[in-house]
Amino acid sequence: MANAKPFDAAEYLDSPEMIAAYLNEASESGDASAIAVAIGTVASARGILVRPRKPSRQTRPPR
């Protein structure tokens, strides 16, 4: 494949109706990780920067 561009669903979420349909599909899957990815994709489509949270002391691996 010559210079194939990676698929980005955010490029197609250009209306409130498309965003709602995308979130509904993710929600109906019942898969929490699919829902989280969909929310992140919508945030990206809307131009919202989503940063990962800093791990708490309890979730950090021991030194």
Q: Are 39 and 23 in contact (CB under 8 A)?
A: yes
pLDDT tens-digit profile of 6-42? 888 999 999 999 999 999 999 999 999 999 999 999 9
Whole-structure pTM over 0.75, yes or no? no
Assign residue 48 a region (left: φ > 0; alpha: ψ between -120 and 50; beta: otherwise). beta
Q: How many helices (H) and strands (E) does the chain have?
A: 2, 0
Give whole-number Cα distances, 43 to 30, 46, 48, in Å: 20, 5, 5
